């Protein structure tokens, strides 16, 4: 489901309010969520003007690191190259177990805004019920799973859950898929699908890449025609409610650098990044900008061309 609106009609001052606004999804859902979510394209365009420049704290002295140039720019995620964005999954060590794919959908009686606001909590509660049952029934200490959230064409979210477990009746699985507060089923019985995948770990990775790559580009894409923006309704709610699209068991997670190991040194405009590293390679600014423009495509290149011409005249 797409919507089209004029970016000029939005109140850009609300971007600063949202960036400082603390509150969970329930708080965000209590406001005019759609109008605030429409700020997403403006938020992303502004983000490209302030790329964080960070300094790693792994070395001994900050001055020495700065002198040696050990400063890095936090680049926009290269979602433009969607086929390689999740390449690390190929190296993920997945245990050879009997894997099952569970798909959980939602009843369309649930308002779409409420669906995106609460979907993450519903998934967490479903996994908790699953975990409690397996530990009580079979004494499992670890619950191995990987899940991906995907948006239907009509904008509603659904879940693909890869998990290994002993036989459990589908009726029981359906009973765990319910609203946290009211305890009502989140879908009809037919809304819960269970499919056996097998022990082939490469097949498991193929399933993950299929769902992640298939939806990755469309999740964050929007198009501009002048000041008119066309975007999926699910994209706006994804951003506004800060929905997590992918997760897996802790013991499967790859190691990451914690935020305590990095300090922000400052900010840099994306144009400086282009001049410092890419201009000498003969790459046009419009091509460079498109690669880091993870919101997708533009119906008209007037914005890119004007930016390119501005920087070419000023810095050539």
For 186-214, the pLDDT digits (tens) are: 999 999 999 988 888 887 777 777 777 66
The model's pLDDT over 140-155, given as tens digits with 9 standing for 90+, comes to: 767 788 898 989 989 9
Give the mean model confidence (pLDDT) for residues 179-184. 85
**Angle at which helices 233-240 and 40-47 pack, to 10 degrees?**
60
Please state, rounded to an integer, the average pLDDT across all residues of the chain.
75
Residue 122 has pLDDT above 80, yes or no: yes
Structure confidence by residue, pLDDT tens digits, 15-50: 888 877 777 777 788 788 899 999 998 888 777 676
| Cα separation, 61 vs 30, whole angstroms | 47
Q: Coil, helix or strand for 120?
A: helix
Give domain limits for the chain: 87-252, 283-316
Range scoring the smallest mean pLDDT among 143-147, 154-158, 212-216, 290-294? 290-294
159 DSSP 8-state letter: E
pTM of the model: 0.71
Q: Which residue has the tokens 């859950």?
A: 161
- 44/162 Cα distance (integer angstroms): 32
Instruction: For residue 197, report the phi and psi dihedrals to the nearest 5 degrees.
Output: -105, -45
Nearest to 44 by CA among 216, 214, 289, 311: 289
pLDDT, position 285: 74
Q: What distance in Å separates the CA atoms of residue 18 and residue 201, rounded to the nearest whole number?
A: 42
Give the per-residue pLDDT at 291: 57
CA angle 215/221/224 to nearest 5° reads: 155
User: What confidence score (pLDDT) does residue 78 get?
Assistant: 40
Q: pLDDT at residue 298 above 50?
A: no
């Amino acid at each position: 489901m797409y919507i089209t609106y004029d970016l000029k009609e939005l109140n850009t001052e609300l971007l600063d309010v949202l960036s400082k606004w603390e509150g969970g999804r329930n708080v965000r859902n209590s406001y005019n969520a759609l109008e605030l979510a429409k700020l997403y394209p403006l938020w992303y365009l502004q983000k490209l003007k302030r790329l964080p420049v960070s300094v790693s704290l792994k070395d001994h002295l900050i001055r020495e690191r700065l002198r040696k140039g050990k400063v890095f720019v936090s680049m926009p995620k290269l979602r433009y190259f969607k086929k390689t964005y999740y390449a690390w999954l190929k190296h993920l060590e997945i245990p050879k177990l009997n894997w099952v794919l569970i798909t959980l959908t939602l009843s369309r009686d649930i308002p779409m805004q409420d669906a995106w606001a609460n979907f993450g909590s519903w998934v967490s509660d479903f996994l908790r019920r699953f975990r409690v049952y397996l530990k009580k029934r079979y004494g499992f200490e670890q619950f191995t799973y990987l899940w991906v959230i995907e948006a239907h064409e009509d904008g509603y979210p659904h879940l693909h859950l890869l998990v290994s477990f002993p036989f459990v009746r589908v009726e029981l699985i359906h009973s765990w898929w319910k609203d946290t507060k009211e305890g009502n089923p989140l879908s009809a019985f037919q809304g819960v699908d269970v499919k056996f995948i097998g022990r082939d770990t490469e097949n498991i990775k193929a399933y993950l890449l299929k769902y992640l790559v298939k939806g990755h580009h469309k999740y964050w894409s929007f198009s501009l025609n002048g000041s008119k923006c066309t975007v999926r309704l699910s994209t706006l709610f994804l951003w506004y409610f800060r929905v997590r699209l992918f997760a897996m068991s802790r013991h499967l997670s790859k190691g990451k650098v914690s935020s305590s190991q990095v300090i922000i040194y400052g900010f840099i405009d994306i144009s400086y990044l282009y001049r410092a590293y890419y201009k000498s390679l003969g790459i046009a600014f419009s091509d460079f900008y498109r690669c880091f423009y993870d919101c997708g495509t533009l119906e008209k290149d007037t914005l890119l061309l004007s930016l390119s011409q501005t920087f070419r005249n000023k810095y050539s």
